């Protein structure tokens, strides 16, 4: 009786999230859209041309779930997924090399789309692979997590995606795997081998490791926009932001909006440096 009840709860879970009946948005026709299965959970769409075809673009729009990337703005997600839209030719240029899709597997079939990652080639260096965007929904509810395990629902985490992409970079013989990290996940990427410089020395590693640990503690114990966090970022991490010390370039744009007032950014340089953080801190993983 207990087993039947728990199975019913699993089925109800998938039905509630719109997946038991395989809604039109999530339905995938592998042959029509050339979706490639990489592992049991991972599928991908690779861009073969300079732009996504109309079928590929249509597929991506059906698949894309912006909630996976919350609170990243929709405009940023669209840019990472599709590239730049050419209104004359009505196609997107400069999209990612590959979009990786992480599905829950239930009874041997794809169900919940749990994670997505976009990777592309660096336009300035062919030896660099860029992680444009990654998002993955963790299973936080203990009851659901236990039910998934008992009924052999196969799930993969964001860490699993990272490990797969690192191996992908190795297989493709890239020299570096680069990304732009938001401040609250610097510690996550640092843990899995990403660094602020391409060839970090042992001494610099030790210093950075201490600073990353300090930032992690502050992030874990303070509000999102805590003054102490801002001090640590300015003192140790903002120096890695591209153009951070170029006062001439930073002072060119004198745009002002409500957020600047809310965070007490009283001059142009402060506002511009603050906005650089939005684009992330460049970090490198050396492919061995």
**CA-atom Rg of the chain in angstroms:** 21
Q: What tokens appear for 115 in the block? A: 């994670």
215-222 mean pLDDT: 88
Q: What is the pLDDT of residues 245-285, one digit of tens each?
A: 888 777 776 666 666 666 667 777 777 887 888 889 999 99
**Long-range contacts of the stretch 189-194 (C-beta < 8 A, 24+):** 189/283, 190/283, 192/159, 192/162, 192/163, 192/166, 192/285, 193/166, 193/285, 194/283, 194/284, 194/285
- Coil/strand/helix, residue 195: strand
Q: What is the pLDDT of residues 139-197, one digit of tens each?
A: 776 666 766 776 688 999 999 999 999 999 999 999 999 999 999 999 999 999 999 98
Q: What tokens appear for 4 in the block? A: 């039947």
Per-residue model confidence (pLDDT) at position 1: 43
**Gap between the Cα atoms of 17 and 103, Å rounded:** 14
Domain boundaries, the chain: 23-138+153-174, 183-288
**Gap between the Cα atoms of 89 and 275, Å rounded:** 32
Give 254's contacts (C-beta < 8 A, 6+ positions apart): 268
Per-residue model confidence (pLDDT) at position 138: 86
Per-residue model confidence (pLDDT) at position 126: 85
Starting from the edge strand earliest in sequence, which strands make up the sheet with 42-46, in order? 36-37, 42-46, 98-106, 109-122, 125-136, 176-181, 281-286
Beta strands in the chain, from DSSP E residues, in sequence order:
36-37, 42-46, 84-86, 91-93, 98-106, 109-122, 125-136, 176-181, 281-286
Q: What is the pLDDT of residues 72-126, one digit of tens each?
A: 889 889 999 998 888 888 888 888 999 999 999 988 899 889 999 999 999 888 8
């Amino acid at each position: 009786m207990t087993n039947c009840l728990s199975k019913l709860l699993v089925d109800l879970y998938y039905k509630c999230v719109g997946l038991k009946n395989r809604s039109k948005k999530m339905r995938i026709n592998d042959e029509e859209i050339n979706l490639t299965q990489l592992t049991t959970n991972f599928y991908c769409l690779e861009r073969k041309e300079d732009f996504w075809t109309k079928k590929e673009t249509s597929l991506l729009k059906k698949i894309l779930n912006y909630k996976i990337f919350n609170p990243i703005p929709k405009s940023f997600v669209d840019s990472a997924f599709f590239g730049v839209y050419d209104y004359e030719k009505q196609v997107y240029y400069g999209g990612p090399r590959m979009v990786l899709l992480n599905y829950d597997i239930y009874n041997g079939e794809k169900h919940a789309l749990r994670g997505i990652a976009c990777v592309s080639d660096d336009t300035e260096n062919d030896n660099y692979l860029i992680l444009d965007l990654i998002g993955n929904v963790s299973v936080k509810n203990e009851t659901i997590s236990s039910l998934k395990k008992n009924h052999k629902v196969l799930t993969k985490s964001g860490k699993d995606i990272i490990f797969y992409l690192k191996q992908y970079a190795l297989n493709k013989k890239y020299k570096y795997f680069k990304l732009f990290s938001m401040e609250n996940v610097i510690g996550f990427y640092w843990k899995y081998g990403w660094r602020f410089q391409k060839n970090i020395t042992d001494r610099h590693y030790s210093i950075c490791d201490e600073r990353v640990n300090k930032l992690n503690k502050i992030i874990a114990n303070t509000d999102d926009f805590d003054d102490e966090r801002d001090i640590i970022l300015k003192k140790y991490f903002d120096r890695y932001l591209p153009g951070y010390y170029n006062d001439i370039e930073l002072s060119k744009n004198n745009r002002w909006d409500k957020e600047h007032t809310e965070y007490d950014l009283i001059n142009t340089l402060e506002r511009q440096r603050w906005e650089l953080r939005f684009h992330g801190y460049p970090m490198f993983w050396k492919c061995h």
